[in-house]
């Protein structure tokens, strides 16, 4: 049997791998990692970076609007950043392949800001973390797949069910565990659901191999 050509091998790379197809996911993960390293060096909980960047309603209302964004890149500890990085890796990669890099960037920041605002309104305590934006990406994926549910393959339907299940479990966990900002989660997810219903499919995200690529590759 002939070996699979280079283009065929490229187009059958597992989609969750970071790289050329997921530049925004890679950039966001690097940015979160760099910020966490800076936090570690200057103070994880009360260092100057945290004091300047944490989301805090009274400070935001006084005009420090950058906190709505900077808090998305700050985390409270190693477990916190590790869980959020894993979630962003999984959901961001999938989103970027289906809908494109520019849309991921848009959804991440819009839903992250929505989550920060929800936290300021309903929690009124200082907050930090990327989870509002990650829930936003998950909500956008759910809405996008729901809108196309009639055309989904069995694999697509399985992904949709997993996303819904993950959302339900995490919301329940958030309500039952002290210290989790469920307002940011729900605010980000709601914004993502709204955006997801209007996002068109990014057909160029996963290019189809040319017909000759299949010869000897099956």
Active centre residues (catalytic): 131, 185
Tell me the chain's radius of gyration from C-alpha atoms.
Answer: 19
Output the six-digit token pair for 37: 């390293």
* 127 beta partners: 55
* 163 beta partners: none
How is the chain classified by DSSP, letter by letter?
Answer: -PPPPHHHHHHTS-TTS-STT-HHHHHHHHHHHHHHHHHHHH-TTTSHHHHHHSB-HHHHHTT-TTHHHHGGG--SSHHHHHHHHHHHHHHHHHHHHHH-HHHHHHHHHHHHHHHHHHHHHHT-S-B--SHHHHHHHHHHHHHHHHHTGGG--HHHHHHHHHHHHHHHHHHHHHHHSTT--HHHHHHHHHHHHHHHTTPPP-GGGSPPPPGGGGTTT-
Token look-up 């759910």 returns 142
């Amino acid at each position: 049997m002939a070996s699979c050509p280079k283009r065929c091998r490229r187009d059958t790379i597992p989609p969750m791998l970071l790289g050329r197809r997921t530049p925004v996911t890679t950039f966001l993960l690097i940015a979160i990692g760099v910020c966490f390293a800076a936090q570690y060096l200057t103070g994880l909980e009360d260092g100057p970076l945290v004091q300047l960047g944490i989301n805090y309603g009274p400070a935001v209302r006084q005009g420090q609007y950058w906190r709505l964004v900077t808090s998305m890149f700050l985390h409270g500890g190693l477990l916190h950043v590790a869980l959020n990085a894993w979630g962003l890796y999984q959901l961001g990669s999938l989103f970027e392949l289906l809908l494109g890099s520019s849309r991921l960037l848009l959804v991440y920041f819009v839903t992250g800001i929505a989550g920060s605002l929800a936290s300021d309104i309903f929690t009124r305590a200082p907050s930090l973390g990327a989870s509002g934006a990650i829930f936003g990406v998950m909500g956008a994926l759910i809405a996008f797949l729901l809108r196309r549910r009639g055309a989904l393959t069995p694999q697509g339907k399985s992904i949709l069910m997993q996303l819904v299940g993950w959302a339900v479990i995490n919301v329940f966990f958030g309500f039952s565990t002290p210290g989790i900002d469920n307002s940011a989660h729900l605010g980000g997810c709601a914004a993502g659901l709204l955006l997801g219903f209007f996002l068109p499919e990014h057909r160029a995200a996963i290019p189809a191999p040319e017909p000759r690529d299949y010869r000897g590759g099956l």
